Amino acid sequence: MKKIILLFLFSWIFTLNLFAGTDIYFGNGVWNSKKQAEESRLYFDEFIIQKEIIKNDPILVKKYEVKLAYNWGQGMMTDVLETFYQLKEAGQVNDLHFFTVVYALTKGNIPVTLAASAAKALYEPLNRDWEQGNVDEMWEKYYNESFKLSHRVLLVSHSQGNLFANRIYEIINPTEYKKYFANLQVASPANEIKATKGDYVTLVGDPIINPIPGSMSGNANGEPGYAFIEAYLMQSDPLQKIINNLTTLLPTIESTVSQWEKETESEEGAENYRVTVEHSFDENVVLDEETFPFKLSGYIYQVPDTNGDLYYVKASFGGERILSNEDTDLWEAEEHQFYKLAGTDPIEFIEGSKYSIPEYSQVLKTGQIKCYNYHTYKEEVCTEEHMGQDGYYSHKGLGLDRNFSTRLISSKAINRNVYEDYIVSNNISKLEWQHKTRGYTFSSTRYSDLHRRVFSDAKEYCKNLVLDGSQNWRLPSLVELQTIIDYGKNQSVILLS
């Protein structure tokens, strides 16, 4: 049997070091130096993410990382003017609201409010440049540290950080990355959450947020306050609402389909089954290595083998090490299991046959000629909407005909019964099959049932079988078995007769 070795050439755009996971960002509010914002991030990580979400789970420890999306602190007046600029650009307020907004943001500080009023016209073009520069810096961080590495992103934003969250969502490009982004807004001055996967928590008595025109109404009870830690993380009702939202939003973005799709595969159903993958929408992200396909719908990330060499896998999250069936001190593999990904739950394998079947230039016909509705499963006329169904390709006259030839090995007549042994050759895959008939009578066209065997007995039967001078008989893999089934029938579905 030939093994076809495929060489794949990719253009280099990025060298990826992928690790499946979700990055949780904290986006700070106004009047925060980077040191203060980092202190809030650390508190949020230690007392909320670690204590309430991860809870010492070793898989979640690897899965989640809390990062800072820093909103530049530029002093009270500058931050206040920038916030008003963002609210105005969003269409939430106009110049008539200026005094109300600034008075609320400065906690009723009349001197700062008056100074801001005097400086408004001068600062507006500067605010535009500062705000855009901050947005650009944030997006670069999200893209380079998360999205292009196939990570999901959950942004927990506070105060003005929520206005930046909405700005970031609007500029996400390619736009498909929006499916992998969620936003929990805390004490939000915005009138909406742009992210389709999102929610908010605002105290009913927040003295800064509630007076801002158009801001989302309070939905958490507690002592009036505004500070991220003291008012929102140290009071029971807003804290519990934040935790509840985290436990909802994290699984939501993690259940989103993988960004990586199978491009090619080789030796499916065999020991050396591998795939290459391509990013489904970002042409700037390329992976040029073959991948172990433990689960084709899973994440792409790197895992070491027992020698410490790193390989890419497509699998459920949690894989820690690739074990081969030769690692007998770590794993007693079944005969059909060749690789095991330790750490996933449930454990995932690459399994099948030691033998590969050839690659085909076309898809083999399966015998199915009907098309079915994807929702009702009722038969209907084949159209372009059924592309992907076997019946569609049959309707189009596409696919490779399966081709078999038969040779008689032995025939015995006992009484009026005929016992025959055939070898049936698949002229496409080059596999040979034993076809055995028992009890065919001259007066009937029915075959009696063959002896049925459990799996272990069937393996032993093949091991001891000598047929036409050959001894290397074995059971078929599932993929090989599918090449002799006629899916257009519900009786006598095996094609070897």
Q: What is the pLDDT of residue 444?
A: 37
Eight-state DSSP code of residue 50: I
Q: What phi, psi does 90 have (nearest 5°)?
A: -75, -5
Domains and CATH numbers, the chain: 22-254 (3.40.50), 262-351 (no CATH), 357-401 (no CATH), 404-482 (no CATH)
Collapsed DSSP state (helix, strand, coil) of residue 494: strand
Q: Using CA atoms, how far apart are residues 169 and 217, in angstroms rounded to an integer?
A: 22
Collapsed DSSP state (helix, strand, coil) of residue 277: strand
Q: Using CA atoms, how far apart are residues 132 and 138, in angstroms rounded to an integer?
A: 10
Q: What is the pLDDT of residue 52?
A: 97
pLDDT at 70 over 70: yes
CA atoms within 13 A on the CB side of 57: 12
Average of per-residue pLDDT across 353-364? 59
pLDDT at 222 over 70: yes
DSSP string, 204-220: TT-TTTTTSTTPPPP-B
Q: Using CA atoms, how far apart are residues 349 and 486, in angstroms rounded to an integer?
A: 28
- What is the DSSP pairing of strand 198-201 with strand 181-186? parallel
Q: Using CA atoms, how far apart are residues 408 and 44, in angstroms rounded to an integer?
A: 76
Q: What is the pLDDT of residue 456?
A: 74
Q: Using CA atoms, how far apart are residues 143 and 136, in angstroms rounded to an integer?
A: 11
CB 156 within 8 A of CB 243: no
Q: What phi, psi does 44 have (nearest 5°)?
A: -60, -40
Q: Is the Cα torsion angle 252, 253, 254, 258 positive or negative in sign?
A: positive
pLDDT at 442 over 50: no
The pLDDT tens digits for 118-158 are 998 888 888 899 999 999 999 999 999 999 999 999 999 99
**Nearest CA to 338 among 364, 358, 317, 356?**
356
Amino acid, single-letter form, for residue 422: Y
pLDDT at 361 over 60: no
Amino acid, single-letter form, for residue 35: K
- When the pLDDT of each residue in the chain is averaged and rounded to a whole number, the result is 86
Mean pLDDT lowest among 2-11, 101-110, 447-456: 2-11
pLDDT at 14 over 70: no
**Nearest CA to 391 among 399, 360, 479?**
399
Element housing 436 (H / E): strand 432-441
pLDDT category at 266 given cuts 50, 70, 90 is confident
Q: What is the pLDDT of residue 25?
A: 98
Q: What is the pLDDT of residue 9?
A: 27
The pLDDT tens digits for 156-195 are 999 999 999 999 999 999 999 999 999 999 999 999 999 9
Q: What is the pLDDT of residue 380?
A: 93
Collapsed DSSP state (helix, strand, coil) of residue 244: helix
Average of per-residue pLDDT across 43-63? 95
Collapsed DSSP state (helix, strand, coil) of residue 130: helix
Neighbour-count burial of 480, counting CB atoms closer than 10 A to its CB (0-12 exposed, 13-18 middle, 19+ buried): buried
Q: What is the pLDDT of residue 100?
A: 95
pTM over 0.85: no
Q: Using CA atoms, how far apart are residues 341 and 295, in angstroms rounded to an integer?
A: 10
Q: What is the pLDDT of residue 4?
A: 27
Q: Which residue has the higher pLDDT, 334 or 246?
A: 246
Q: Using CA atoms, how far apart are residues 387 and 102, in angstroms rounded to an integer?
A: 58
Which residues make Cβ contacts (< 8 Å) with residue 485, sequence separation at least 6? Answer: 366, 367, 493, 494, 495
Terminal-to-terminal C-alpha distance of the chain: 24
Mean pLDDT lowest among 177-191, 205-219, 457-471: 457-471
Q: Using CA atoms, how far apart are residues 191 and 197, in angstroms rounded to an integer?
A: 16
Residue 152 structure tokens: 């999901």
Q: What is the pLDDT of residue 2?
A: 27
Mean pLDDT lowest among 33-37, 349-353, 468-472: 468-472
The pLDDT tens digits for 400-421 are 787 888 888 877 776 667 777 7
Q: Which residue has the higher pLDDT, 123 or 37?
A: 37
Percent of the chain at pLDDT exceeding 90:
56
Strand stretches in 280-428, DSSP E: 291-293, 299-304, 310-315, 321-324, 337-342, 348-351, 371-372, 379-380, 404-414, 417-426
Average of per-residue pLDDT across 449-474? 76
Collapsed DSSP state (helix, strand, coil) of residue 467: strand
CB 336 within 8 A of CB 475: no
Q: Using CA atoms, how far apart are residues 335 and 463, in angstroms rounded to an integer?
A: 13
Q: What is the pLDDT of residue 407?
A: 84
pLDDT category at 496 given cuts 50, 70, 90 is low
**Nearest CA to 290 among 262, 269, 317, 271?**
262
Q: Using CA atoms, how far apart are residues 22 and 63, in angstroms rounded to an integer?
A: 6
Q: What is the pLDDT of residue 416?
A: 67
